[in-house]
Amino acid sequence: MAVVVIVLLAVVALGLLAAAVRIYPQYERGVQFRLGKLKDGPRGPGLVLVIPLVDRMRRVSLRIVTMPIPSQEIITRDNVSVDISGVAYYRIADPAVHQLCDLVCGNIARRFEDVASTRAAFARTARAKPTTGR
């Protein structure tokens, strides 16, 4: 009976140790959140220890990211049609700030989507109701 308990405790201890170790390559950092709050800024590269079930680690890549900008056709003041497309390059300098910016930008994007859907619904309603002109 005692051997079974010791083996069970050893398996649980190995599981917790495996959950506590994170390895980050040279081009990545980990942002550590302890109970939802940012802790000590970026961690890594290399071996990082965390407390299982208390800490959450988010991986942030420090590589240069290319983001294509969709092509848009515009008309200039002198009625010339111009097609513009582009590519944006960016590199993350501070992983902790990047995580916070993701949160804020996500909230702003959701607000814009709400405004756009409200505007589209209003436009559909306005088109559906005929106006009575005199």
Q: 106 in the Ramachandran plot: left (φ > 0), alpha (ψ -120 to 50) or beta?
A: alpha
End-to-end CA separation in angstroms for the chain: 95
pLDDT in tens, 15-36: 988 889 999 999 888 888 888 8
Q: Which stretches of the chain drop beneath a pLDDT of 50?
A: none
Say if residue 38 is exposed, middle or buried (CB neighbours under 10 Å; 0-12, 13-18, 19+): middle
**The model's pTM:** 0.54
